[in-house]
C-alpha cells in the first residue's frame, strides 16, 4: 500500500463521512450535542484541501497531515482524538514508501494507543475505542493467521476483518452506559443508543476496506 492508496482511503473516508453526516449527527443528538457529523465533515473537508495543497510524499507524512489538520479544524472531543489517531498512525509509519498489512497493523496500534492516552477511555466506556480496539485486534489476528502479507487479496481480506469488527464494535455500544465524553453526563439515559464516535470509526474502517478491495 503506497501513498496513493492512503490518499484514496482518506478521500473515501471524507466521502462517506459527508454522505452519513446527518446520521452521525442524529446519533449525537440522542446522547450528545448533535454536532458529530458536522464536526467530522468539516474536518475531512479541510483534510481534502490540505492534501490537495501539500501533496505528501509518503503514507506516514500523509496520515500525519490528516491528523494535524483534524486537530486544528475540529473542535470538541472527536477532533483531538481522531487527530491524534491519524498523527500517531502516520508517525509510526515513518518514511516507508510501501506499507504491508503487518506494518499497517502496528501503526494503527500506535494510533489506538494515542487515543487511549489522550481520552483514557477503556473498551466498554461507549466511545470510539469500542470500534477501534476490536478492529486493530481483528487485523492483528488476520495478519498472524493467514495469508501472504504481500498479496493484495490477502491484505484486503485482513482489512475486511478489521472493518467488520469495527461495525460489530459500534453496534456493541448500544446497550452500554457511557462513562466518557459528553454522553456520560446522561448517565443511564445514554443506554439504548449507538455511540456516534464508534459509528464514525466503523465508517472510516469501511472506507479503508472499500479502497483495499478496488
Give the residue closest to ligand ADP by C-beta: 197
Closest to ligand ADP by CB, 105 or 180: 180
- Please report, to the nearest 10 degrees, the dihedral formed by the alpha carbons of residues 86, 32, 23, 59 taken in order: 0
How many residues appear in the chain?
214
What is the nearest approach in angstroms of ligand ADP to the Cβ of residue 202?
Answer: 11
Q: Report the alpha-carbon distance of residue 128 to residue 83 in Å, rounded.
A: 13
Query: 34: buried, middle or exposed (CB in 10 Å: 19+, 13-18, 0-12)?
Result: middle
Stretch that binds ligand ADP, among 45-53, 77-85, 136-144, 155-163 (CB under 6 A): 77-85
45 touches 21 (CB < 8 A): no
Give the residue closest to Mg ion by C-beta: 76
Closest to Mg ion by CB, 28 or 140: 28
- Please report, to the nearest 10 degrees, the dihedral formed by the alpha carbons of residues 18, 107, 183, 35 taken in order: -20
17 binds, among ligand ADP, Mg ion, none (CB under 5 to 8 A by kind): none
Q: What is the DSSP letter of 176?
A: P
What is the nearest approach in angstroms of ligand ADP to the Cβ of residue 106?
Answer: 21
What is the nearest approach in angstroms of ligand ADP to the Cβ of residue 70?
Answer: 11
Is residue 88 involved in binding ligand ADP (CB under 6 A)? no
Stretch that binds ligand ADP, among 56-64, 65-73, 139-147, 190-198 (CB under 6 A): 190-198
Is residue 198 involved in binding ligand ADP (CB under 6 A)? yes
Closest to ligand ADP by CB, 50 or 198: 198
Grid cell digits, residue 19: 454522505
Query: 52: buried, middle or exposed (CB in 10 Å: 19+, 13-18, 0-12)?
Result: exposed
Q: How far is CA 25 from CA 30, 35, 80, 159, in A?
A: 9, 5, 18, 27
67 binds, among ligand ADP, Mg ion, none (CB under 5 to 8 A by kind): none
The contact set with ligand ADP (CB under 6 A) reads: 28, 32-33, 35-36, 39, 76-78, 81, 115, 119, 121, 127-129, 180-182, 195-198
The contact set with Mg ion (CB under 5 A) reads: 28, 32-33, 35-36, 76
Amino acid at each position: 500500500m503506497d501513498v496513493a492508496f492512503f490518499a484514496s482511503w482518506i478521500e473515501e473516508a471524507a466521502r462517506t463521512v459527508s454522505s452519513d453526516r446527518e446520521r452521525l449527527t442524529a446519533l449525537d443528538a440522542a446522547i450528545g450535542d448533535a454536532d458529530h457529523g458536522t464536526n467530522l465533515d468539516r474536518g475531512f473537508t479541510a483534510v481534502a484541501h490540505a492534501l490537495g495543497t501539500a501533496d505528501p510524499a509518503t503514507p506516514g507524512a500523509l496520515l500525519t497531515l490528516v491528523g494535524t489538520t483534524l486537530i486544528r479544524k475540529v473542535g470538541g472531543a472527536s477532533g483531538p482524538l481522531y487527530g491524534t489517531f491519524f498523527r500517531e498512525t502516520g508517525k509510526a509509519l515513518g518514511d516507508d514508501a510501501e506499507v504491508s498489512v503487518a506494518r499497517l497493523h502496528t501503526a494503527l496500534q500506535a494510533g489506538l494507543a494515542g487515543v487511549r492516552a489522550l481520552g483514557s477511555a477503556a473498551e466498554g466506556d461507549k466511545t470510539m475505542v469500542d470500534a477501534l480496539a476490536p478492529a486493530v485486534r481483528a487485523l492483528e489476528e488476520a495478519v498472524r493467521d493467514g495469508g501472504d502479507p504481500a498479496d493484495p487479496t490477502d491484505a484486503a481480506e485482513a482489512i475486511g476483518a478489521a472493518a467488520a469488527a469495527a461495525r460489530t464494535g459500534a453496534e456493541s455500544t448500544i446497550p452500554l452506559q457511557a462513562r466518557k465524553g459528553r454522553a456520560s453526563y446522561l448517565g443511564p439515559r445514554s443506554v439504548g443508543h449507538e455511540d456516534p464516535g464508534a459509528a464514525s470509526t466503523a465508517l472510516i474502517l469501511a472506507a479503508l476496506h472499500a479502497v483495499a478491495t478496488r
